[in-house]
Chain A
């Protein structure tokens, strides 16, 4: 993965050694919710939960911080997962009719007592079995697996198939026990003639082992027949002649009852009484949401307490609520219909497995939905939901941008946590998380890290990114700054925040719906979407900018507050004539004071005109300045004095498209939005996962090759330099505030730098009252406040290659980036060198250049595109610390290119250091979403719902390290609980050790 590909690289061994101590690339952990989950399993003994995905990934979760990941060789959907309870071993069934065995294994044999930390252990595939008959070959589609049952003894696996046969495989080798196979004919023989009526019984829909009597299984066929089968005697004990199409079966704990759920939305309770071979009628049969036609109940669970709890998914009245994704919990008179926003994949309960106990006493219900995981506390009256400590649905509204803040002070951290707690609805409980297997051995995080994500619905979510589990801290909504369609003026309360009202609504309703989960793909107003975020961790000021040209400056407040937000409108077109904006309107600010919850509360709303999407934002809290840019120009605002300092149009006078008005631009914005969403949604299917090579695709491939030979319009690229007519040339791409030398080499002062899409850089000298020579002086407060901040254009640089400016950064006399606001004045970092000449790094999509200051003349450069053919997408200045030498660190420029690789350059020499392949180049949304931390880590979206965390630093990396106490047999798997020998294995999970190699 790591290539030193730059030619003409001096191979100084000393330097190479230092590089190895500084840089190392590793994908460490995936944050968020797995994309397109398809299977769920739970190991009640180890308290581990496994989730399989459509792309062939298996993820195991236990206590927060305990995570394992495995990936099947083929990117085929995982249809079922089965744990061998207590053994750190699981079976997965894929859509291609193969079964795979996975184990949590210690790789290292060198691990002899003592420190086990070196023994990297991972989830790996140890065996696989292909059921006879692959899909595609018609004759044997009959042996396609539909359901699996692992007997409690863990030595036999029963596989139900489409053809109605049940096959038995022996574990652990997954070998077929030929003589145990139960074909449908065998069953049909023993059926009464009137039930047989010549039709097939249909596929096996359910296999359930008798809870008390080992070796007896319940087989449910699609047509409705249920057979209690004795595996050892190979004989049908009882037959239950159901007439409704069967969906699922579940035993009652005692084994005296079982429940079947049906296609018509009903469920039946059957008594298992000895003596009677044929059972024609169930004890009871109910269609809970009848009498009108209902959808199927796809899965039902029957758990016993003092009175039974029934949990089932589906069954909604077809006409009125057929499109809802529901799960019903019923106990006595209590009846709740959990109404989810995405499809229910599977669910299980955490309950008492101890045979001695009388009841199941379920404590929690875990529901895997297509887009999130919901856990319901079944012990607390009202069945509230439990906040999940991991698998956070990052994409509850589509992620539009992100921002990372390192080393957050404990003070701010606590205030954020408190603000977050105040937000949590009353329906959450704080009961212990029920899935608590394994133990995280990862050291406590060295520092608190915040990841901020901006969303399409106008929210900014604050995540604790300090450790392996990304957990939500606080959610900020900006929608209440504006009037929106869905926001009745007379009701200031957000209906979601008012549970009482909601409850009232619910009571009148049948079915008794309750909205659960937070995945909400529908945005009220796309203009609310967040585009840029900037947070000052020292002053607790936050700037959030959105799609409709809104820039909101917020401050942290621990108290609830009702106030009116100041609004300031900035015309970025200035006196440019002949321009009419034909895009979306600006959002209407709320005219009345609005209530704001504790947390970040808006102070000022700046509205750019035309209300185009904000493309860049910068905050300098020490100078009370915020800079913001759109495709038309940029502005500078003093939010302390509520004063517009500067507005500058960046549209080119020749830019006919822009002058005509943004009709085309709006179209393209919409189009690009639509495309990017499609891309995000689509690209993940192929994700890290390669296309499945089946016979059909091979044929297609051959056809494609043939077609290629016939040469149908070859792919070609036009060699044209960037044209001036690009209507997006005025887009402001980046800002930089710096206290540096712009006027001359002796006087430094505040400056603002802005870079555009057409390779222009504007540098302004700022007059900030009270700021002199880089230090805030406390002199004459009154007179000072009356003075205004002024901005004077100092320099205008046109990069001749005209590529978009990606980043600007001012370097001090030692070539180090200037510290953040407050860091220097409050002695939080080493003061910048103001004695030697400063320089400015301007990174464009094609070149990296360092210019000397104040006279802007090029000092060093690296022409990435000319040399490598790749273009810069993201740039960050990162401080890399040596993994070996305690206090050695280097400032390094990290570049992510359109090829998805990371190029590292030293500063300010811009000499290439290392190159790493990181993201697939086809993964455009992944590259676009990448965000770097200041210490050499980063995040990028691998699906709409998952961040991949990676580390470029040899020193700083956050990865799962966990131990699991396994109850694993020594030697052969021979059953009987008493013979279980508990062996404790310290399992160091390494999430990204690919199991692919097997």
Chain B
């Protein structure tokens, strides 16, 4: 749809929007181009690659060489987008069969900028000589934090988004009451305010480096905290904890984001400058959700983690059991799982056996039909990241011990909104 690949055109076309792609599978090379601005979705790109290389019925692993010469995988929209946007001058793609992938080859300095890169893929000599920093597979990557809305906020303020996945890492900070100075029409006034009082060592908030003790909290997910009690603000933050956006006035004003300058080389056109840790970029998402005013990011409230899980039992099955056997098998299996058997693989297996459950998320589009409530129901760009969001759910499920079930890695097929196990 929004991809422009045209083999008939000269490869080094001057069209600045086109990115030349050189893809290698085994010994074969293919060349084509994609649109730099609108690269499309990873899934389509993946199908395209398989088509071009005439690969059928095989799971492939896609990698690319980034500007630093590192071999990095492409397996979702985000890193695909990142790969396209940073390709310079061309995007070098390496395709491997899933079974043959040597994960140790991924990471920093895995590919030198010399032509030896190809060798490096197959040959682990280099890595043996110089131990690499191991980088996990990108589906284990996820955003941890980001600074957003830089272009619409006063420079003295910072809007920080914390992504919490499951409960593996606590948000880890404390807030307190305090007083802050405000400039009002009547002069400078002391007003009550909410401040960050403590960071939990090793907690998410601390690890981002974007929040600090004595930063004043101004807003929580777009709602001003002035006039609200400490307990109310606490509850608001907890209610939004899966995707917490706090606007703070940092106590240290020297590290402020300076507008219209490139902080990181990643994505200049984006309002999203990536945080210190985590995902290379959210540029695609950010580019799409170019904030349309102060409430632009409200859409993010409808993140996929929000959606409730519905487990359906087959009701068609005649229930012949006596009333003493009460609970249905579905719930039983869930109850009886001993805590020691909680690895995802086990669950995977288990659920394949007792399979009359359906897990589906609420269809998001159903929320888009209510007029007059733009704050809740504007269309959500994040929805289109179905693949990514699925992973998010998987992540949260896996890491969250409250879920007595988990989704198998391979056995998930996504059918719009319903995940069938």
- Contact partner of B339 (CB less than 8 A), chosen from A654, A792, A800, A865, is A654
Chain B: minimal CB distance from A905 (Å): 12
Chain A: minimal CB distance from B160 (Å): 13
Asked if A54 CB lies within 8 Å of chain B CBs, one says: no
Q: Per-residue CB proximity of A932-966 to B under 8 Å, as 1/0? A: 00000000000000000000000000000000000
Chain A: minimal CB distance from B230 (Å): 6
| B242-A800 in contact (CB<8A) | yes
Q: Is the interface of B mostly helix, strand, loop or mixed?
A: mixed
Asked if A45 CB lies within 8 Å of chain B CBs, one says: no
| B319-A792 in contact (CB<8A) | yes
* Residues in A neighbouring B374, C-beta threshold 8 A: 8
| A858-B237 in contact (CB<8A) | no
What is the CA–CA distance of A867 and B237 in the complex, to the nearest angstrom?
10
> B316 — nearest CB in chain A belongs to which residue?
A743
Asked if B206 CB lies within 8 Å of chain A CBs, one says: no
* Residues in A neighbouring B417, C-beta threshold 8 A: 857
> For window 850-880 of chain A, which residues contact chain B by CB distance below 8 Å?
851-852, 856-863, 865-871
Q: Per-residue CB proximity of B193-228 to A under 8 Å, as 1/0? A: 000011000000100000000000000110101001
Give the interface segment out of B4-12, B106-114, B143-151, B169-177.
Answer: B169-177
| A792-B313 in contact (CB<8A) | yes
- Contact partner of B326 (CB less than 8 A), chosen from A647, A714, A866, is A647
What is the CA–CA distance of A870 and B242 in the complex, to the nearest angstrom?
18
Give the interface segment out of B44-52, B65-73, B82-90, B364-372.
Answer: B364-372
Asked if A797 CB lies within 8 Å of chain B CBs, one says: yes
* Residues in B neighbouring A851, C-beta threshold 8 A: 362
Asked if A716 CB lies within 8 Å of chain B CBs, one says: yes
> For window 34-48 of chain A, which residues contact chain B by CB distance below 8 Å?
none
Chain B: minimal CB distance from A708 (Å): 10
| A911-B335 in contact (CB<8A) | no
* Residues in B neighbouring A803, C-beta threshold 8 A: 239
* Residues in B neighbouring A860, C-beta threshold 8 A: 367, 370, 376
Asked if B232 CB lies within 8 Å of chain A CBs, one says: yes
> For window 489-524 of chain A, which residues contact chain B by CB distance below 8 Å?
none
- Interface size class on chain A is 35 or more
> B369 — nearest CB in chain A belongs to which residue?
A859
| B175-A717 in contact (CB<8A) | yes
| B238-A720 in contact (CB<8A) | yes
> For window 166-185 of chain B, which residues contact chain A by CB distance below 8 Å?
167, 170-178
- Contact partner of B177 (CB less than 8 A), chosen from A714, A790, A859, is A714
| A788-B176 in contact (CB<8A) | no
* Residues in A neighbouring B414, C-beta threshold 8 A: none
- Contact partner of B327 (CB less than 8 A), chosen from A715, A788, A793, A800, is A793
| B319-A767 in contact (CB<8A) | yes
Give the interface segment out of A117-125, A163-171, A310-318, A721-729.
Answer: A721-729
Give the interface segment out of A212-220, A554-562, A638-646.
Answer: A638-646
Asked if B98 CB lies within 8 Å of chain A CBs, one says: no
Known contacts: A714-B197, A860-B370. The answer to whether A800 contacts B301 by CB under 8 A is: no
* Residues in B neighbouring A795, C-beta threshold 8 A: 310-313
> For window 330-379 of chain B, which residues contact chain A by CB distance below 8 Å?
330-331, 335-339, 362-363, 366-367, 370, 372-376
Q: Per-residue CB proximity of A606-650 to B under 8 Å, as 1/0? A: 000000000000000000000000000000000000011111110
Chain A: minimal CB distance from B140 (Å): 21
What is the CA–CA distance of A846 and B232 in the complex, to the nearest angstrom?
12
What is the CA–CA distance of A392 and B146 in the complex, to the nearest angstrom?
61
| B238-A719 in contact (CB<8A) | yes
Asked if B323 CB lies within 8 Å of chain A CBs, one says: yes
* Residues in B neighbouring A857, C-beta threshold 8 A: 310, 362-363, 366, 417
> For window 765-809 of chain A, which residues contact chain B by CB distance below 8 Å?
765, 767, 788-803
* Residues in B neighbouring A862, C-beta threshold 8 A: 376
Chain B: minimal CB distance from A919 (Å): 15
Q: Per-residue CB proximity of A903-941 to B under 8 Å, as 1/0? A: 000000101000000000000000000000000000000
| B308-A858 in contact (CB<8A) | yes
> For window 380-421 of chain B, which residues contact chain A by CB distance below 8 Å?
400-404, 417
Asked if B277 CB lies within 8 Å of chain A CBs, one says: no
| B366-A858 in contact (CB<8A) | yes
| A717-B230 in contact (CB<8A) | yes
| A742-B315 in contact (CB<8A) | yes
| A858-B362 in contact (CB<8A) | yes
Asked if A116 CB lies within 8 Å of chain B CBs, one says: no
What is the CA–CA distance of A717 and B172 in the complex, to the nearest angstrom?
11
| B242-A719 in contact (CB<8A) | no
* Residues in A neighbouring B372, C-beta threshold 8 A: 10, 911
Asked if B241 CB lies within 8 Å of chain A CBs, one says: yes
* Residues in B neighbouring A324, C-beta threshold 8 A: none
* Residues in B neighbouring A767, C-beta threshold 8 A: 319
> For window 736-775 of chain A, which residues contact chain B by CB distance below 8 Å?
742-743, 758, 762, 765, 767
What is the CA–CA distance of A468 and B219 in the complex, to the nearest angstrom?
46
| B367-A719 in contact (CB<8A) | no
Q: How many residues of B contact A (CB 8 A)?
A: 75
| B223-A576 in contact (CB<8A) | no
> A865 — nearest CB in chain B belongs to which residue?
B239
What is the CA–CA distance of A762 and B328 in the complex, to the nearest angstrom?
11
Known contacts: A857-B366, A869-B236. The answer to whether A646 contacts B223 by CB under 8 A is: no
Known contacts: A724-B401, A866-B240. The answer to whether A648 contacts B171 by CB under 8 A is: no
Known contacts: A714-B177, A716-B198, A717-B175. The answer to whether A794 contacts B241 by CB under 8 A is: no
| A802-B402 in contact (CB<8A) | yes
Asked if B132 CB lies within 8 Å of chain A CBs, one says: no
| A869-B235 in contact (CB<8A) | yes
Chain A: minimal CB distance from B320 (Å): 9
Chain B: minimal CB distance from A429 (Å): 53
Asked if A574 CB lies within 8 Å of chain B CBs, one says: yes
Asked if A841 CB lies within 8 Å of chain B CBs, one says: no
What is the CA–CA distance of A742 and B232 in the complex, to the nearest angstrom?
37
Asked if A652 CB lies within 8 Å of chain B CBs, one says: yes
- Contact partner of A788 (CB less than 8 A), chosen from B167, B232, B323, B336, is B323
Chain A: minimal CB distance from B418 (Å): 9
> A863 — nearest CB in chain B belongs to which residue?
B239
* Residues in A neighbouring B241, C-beta threshold 8 A: 719-721
What is the CA–CA distance of A762 and B334 in the complex, to the nearest angstrom?
13
| A719-B239 in contact (CB<8A) | no
What is the CA–CA distance of A861 and B370 in the complex, to the nearest angstrom?
11
> B231 — nearest CB in chain A belongs to which residue?
A717
Chain B: minimal CB distance from A986 (Å): 44
Asked if B233 CB lies within 8 Å of chain A CBs, one says: yes
Chain A: minimal CB distance from B203 (Å): 9
Asked if A718 CB lies within 8 Å of chain B CBs, one says: yes
| B167-A743 in contact (CB<8A) | no
* Residues in A neighbouring B328, C-beta threshold 8 A: 792-793
What is the CA–CA distance of A856 and B311 in the complex, to the nearest angstrom?
10
| B174-A654 in contact (CB<8A) | no
- Contact partner of B309 (CB less than 8 A), chosen from A718, A800, A871, is A800
- Contact partner of B307 (CB less than 8 A), chosen from A718, A790, A858, A863, is A858
Chain B: minimal CB distance from A862 (Å): 8
Asked if A114 CB lies within 8 Å of chain B CBs, one says: no
What is the CA–CA distance of A803 and B237 in the complex, to the nearest angstrom?
14
Asked if A113 CB lies within 8 Å of chain B CBs, one says: no
> For window 218-264 of chain B, which residues contact chain A by CB distance below 8 Å?
220-221, 223, 225, 228-242
* Residues in A neighbouring B229, C-beta threshold 8 A: 869
Asked if A653 CB lies within 8 Å of chain B CBs, one says: yes
Closest 8 CB pairs of A and B: A869-B232, A865-B239, A793-B328, A724-B402, A721-B241, A717-B234, A716-B176, A869-B236
Known A719-B174, A863-B301; 14 more pairs at CB < 8 Å: A8-B375, A646-B323, A716-B175, A717-B230, A719-B234, A793-B327, A797-B309, A800-B306, A856-B310, A857-B310, A866-B223, A867-B236, A868-B232, A911-B372
A-B contact pairs, 22 of them (CB 8 A): A8-B374, A574-B326, A576-B335, A644-B324, A647-B326, A654-B404, A714-B197, A716-B198, A717-B231, A717-B233, A718-B234, A721-B171, A793-B313, A795-B312, A800-B307, A862-B376, A866-B236, A866-B301, A869-B220, A869-B228, A869-B232, A871-B235
